[in-house]
């Protein structure tokens, strides 16, 4: 190793605002993969990137190096179009759970590799693991076989796929470097480009509950990922969605699984289904399974109405070792020892529900991680949340807190009472689907 390849040299160059060379970026990714860089060195460069940013060329090089840190799946033997969806994160964002089977019953295959909770947002894998026995860790061979047979796989990163990202993802979560656009782009796209897809739809969130609180930053992120996808030969489309209030009425892992099951039964909250249909439309259009957004939505709705989408989710759970009894009877999902309705004595109109504040309350309950090694309590969180603009009668319930201990319950209650504002005039919810960037 020459002096210019030493970790401290690469860290210092980025610290001082220089663009890293492709070889320096490869060295960083190699160090994350083989352990030749210490965690504190990886963390230092992550922070330097967070502060100094990366050029488009650097971001593309980082994405490519992370993708090539492991194997790239070959799903070419599957004749159906293969399309995936990924969200940049939010509060109550359980869309992937019910969207994947909804799309799959319309024709395309959905190979979906997801992540765990990051910062204040929840993770698809953590939600799925609320289902007893559900295996999110499959080998690449098992993954390919399931996509071919079932048409969907809902898994996490395997040891073979983008191992550098798995390491860096965990460090970003605990070093305050989550919101960096280059790091978000590389983390998302390295996995997606390695999973064998033909096309990708991104749910790019903005607002208080998102990592990109400002819409302009979300647009920048969306355009960057669309451009990187194009440069790597994969069509990518981004749907911008608002995340000022939680998505749906439940936040917390098992509670969100139950809400996704309600969506598959045709009983999902309106705001959650609006976003679900918007993303599903784009997936079917990109897969060539529908000619217009209207026909795509009709196909998705028909899959729910017929019960085919719920049956497909049950098939996924069975294929990945989960207890299908929880799908047929959601009361079997993990349940918290303590459940407390949050009551508003005077009543009124819901003026605001602060998504980030709700997420932090659920984090206090144990629904997320403060440190990478922290366990998650799948049963805790809040459900029956009110939505902005709704009327609450005197003595009405603003939400139900699910907790495992009294101290956490008391803290979460105080946070939620500040997060939910009820007044004389109803608030106006932000448009849930803002625009499509293609």
Average pLDDT over residues 156-170: 87
Q: Are residues 279 and 159 in the same domain?
A: yes
Query: What backbone phi and psi angles, to 5 degrees, belong to 197?
Result: -85, 165
Confidence tier at 230 by pLDDT (50, 70, 90) = confident
Give the residue with greater pLDDT, 433 vs 5: 433
Range of the structural domain that residue 137 is part of: 83-330
**Joined tokens for residue 245:** 């209030």
Whether the pLDDT of residue 121 is over 80: the answer is no
pTM over 0.95: no
Report the pLDDT value the prediction gives residue 2, as an integer from 0 to 100. Answer: 62
Using a 10 angstrom Cβ sphere, with 0-12 exposed, 13-18 middle and 19 or more buried, the burial of residue 159 is exposed
Proportion of the chain above pLDDT 90, given as a percent = 84
Checking if the pLDDT of 203 tops 90, the result is yes
Other Cβ atoms closer than 10 A to 306: 12
Residue 1 above 70 pLDDT? no
The residues near 407 (Cβ < 8 Å, ≥ 6 apart) are none
**Same-domain check for residues 230 and 154:** yes
So what's the pLDDT on residue 329? 97
Q: Is the pLDDT of residue 3 over 80?
A: no
Is 22:64 a contact under the CB 8 Å cutoff?
Answer: no
Q: Say what the pLDDT of residue 48 is.
A: 98
Of 295, 330, 365, the domain-final residue: 330
Among residues 330, 357, 377, which one ends one of the domains? 330
Structural domain includes residue 65: no
pLDDT band at 118 (very low <50, low <70, confident <90, very high): low
Asked whether residue 210 carries a pLDDT value surpassing 80, the answer given is: yes
Contact 215, 127 (CB under 8 A): no
**Residue 60 resides in a domain:** no
Instruction: Please indicate, yes or no, whether residues 117 and 7 belong to a single structural domain of this protein.
Output: no
One domain for residues 207 and 351: no
Q: Helices (H), strands (E): how many in the chain?
A: 17, 12
Same-domain pairing of 183 and 269: yes
* Partners of 118 in the β-ladder: 121
Assess whether pLDDT exceeds 60 at residue 321. yes
Residue 175 lies in a domain: yes
Q: Are residues 22 and 94 in the same domain?
A: no
Catalytic residues: 86, 165, 172, 187, 191
Residues 242 and 309 in one domain: yes
Q: Are residues 141 and 244 in the same domain?
A: yes
Residue 383 phi/psi, 5-degree rounding, is -135, 180
Strands (DSSP E) contained in 114-183 are 152-155
What is the spatial distance between Cα 200 and Cα 394, in angstroms, rounded to a whole number?
46
Please state the domain count of the chain.
3
- Exposure pattern of 180-211 as b/e (b: 16+ CB <10 Å)? bbbbbbbbbbbbbbbbbbbbbbbbbbbbbbbb
Tell me the percentage of the chain whose pLDDT exceeds 70: 98
User: What does the pLDDT read at residue 51?
Assistant: 97
**For 286-316, how does the pLDDT look when each residue is reduced to its tens digit (9 = 90+)?**
999 999 999 999 999 999 999 999 999 999 9
Do 160 and 174 sit in the same domain of this protein? yes
Q: What pLDDT digit, counting tens, does each position of 17-74 carry? A: 999 999 999 999 999 999 999 999 999 999 999 999 999 999 999 999 999 999 999 9
- CATH number of the domain within which 13 lies: 1.20.970.10
Sign of torsion over alpha carbons 252, 257, 258, 262:
positive
- Assess if residue 404 is contained within a domain: yes
pLDDT at 161: 86
Q: Is 421 exposed, middle or buried (0-12, 13-18, 19+ CB in 10 A)?
A: middle
Mean pLDDT of the residues in the chain: 94
Q: What is the DSSP string of 279-300?
A: HHHHHHHHTTS-SSHHHHHHHH
Specify whether 100 is located in the same domain as 198: yes
Average pLDDT over residues 104-131: 89
**What are the structure tokens assigned to 246, written together?**
């939680």
């Amino acid at each position: 190793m020459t002096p210019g390849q030493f970790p401290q040299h690469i860290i210092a160059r980025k610290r001082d605002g220089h663009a890293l060379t492709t070889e320096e970026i490869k060295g960083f990714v190699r160090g994350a993969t083989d352990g030749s860089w210490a965690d504190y060195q990886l963390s230092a460069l992550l922070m330097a990137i967070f502060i100094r940013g990366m050029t488009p060329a650097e971001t593309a090089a980082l994405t490519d190096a992370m993708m090539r840190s492991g194997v790239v799946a070959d799903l070419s033997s599957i004749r159906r179009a293969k399309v995936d969806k990924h969200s940049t994160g939010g509060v109550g964002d359980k869309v992937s759970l019910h969207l994947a089977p909804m799309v799959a019953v319309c024709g395309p295959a959905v190979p979906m590799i997801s992540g765990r909770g990051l910062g204040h947002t929840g993770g698809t894998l953590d939600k799925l693991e609320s289902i007893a026995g559900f295996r999110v860790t499959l080998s690449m061979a098992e993954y390919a076989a399931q996509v071919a047979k079932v048409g969907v796989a809902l898994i996490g990163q395997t040891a073979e796929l983008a191992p550098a990202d798995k390491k860096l993802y965990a460090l970003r979560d605990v070093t305050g470097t989550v919101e960096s656009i280059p790091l978000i782009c590389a983390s998302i796209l390295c996995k997606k480009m390695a999973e064998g897809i033909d096309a990708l739809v991104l749910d790019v969130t903005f607002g208080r509950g998102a990592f990109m609180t400002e819409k302009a930053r979300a647009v920048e992120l969306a355009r960057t990922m669309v451009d990187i996808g194009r440069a790597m030969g994969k069509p990518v489309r981004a749907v911008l969605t608002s995340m000022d209030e939680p998505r749906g009425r439940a936040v917390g892992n098992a509670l969100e699984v139950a809400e996704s099951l309600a969506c598959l039964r045709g009983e999902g909250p309106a705001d959650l289904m609006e976003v679900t249909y918007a993303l599903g439309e784009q997936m079917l259009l990109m897969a060539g399974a529908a000619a217009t957004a209207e026909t795509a939505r009709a196909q998705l709705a028909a899959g729910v109405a017929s019960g085919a989408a719920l049956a497909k989710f049950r098939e996924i759970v069975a294929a990945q070792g989960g207890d299908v009894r929880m799908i047929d009877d959601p009361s079997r999902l993990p349940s918290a020892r303590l459940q407390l309705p949050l009551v508003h004595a005077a009543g009124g109109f819901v003026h605001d529900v602060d998504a980030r504040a709700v997420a932090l309350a659920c984090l206090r309950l144990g629904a997320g991680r403060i440190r990478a090694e922290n366990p998650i309590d799948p049963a805790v969180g809040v459900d029956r949340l009110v939505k902005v603009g709704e009327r609450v009668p005197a003595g009405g319930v603003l939400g139900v807190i699910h907790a495992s201990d009294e101290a956490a319950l008391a803290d979460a209650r105080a946070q939620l009472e500040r997060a939910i504002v009820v007044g004389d005039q109803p608030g106006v919810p932000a448009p849930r689907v803002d625009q499509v960037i293609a």
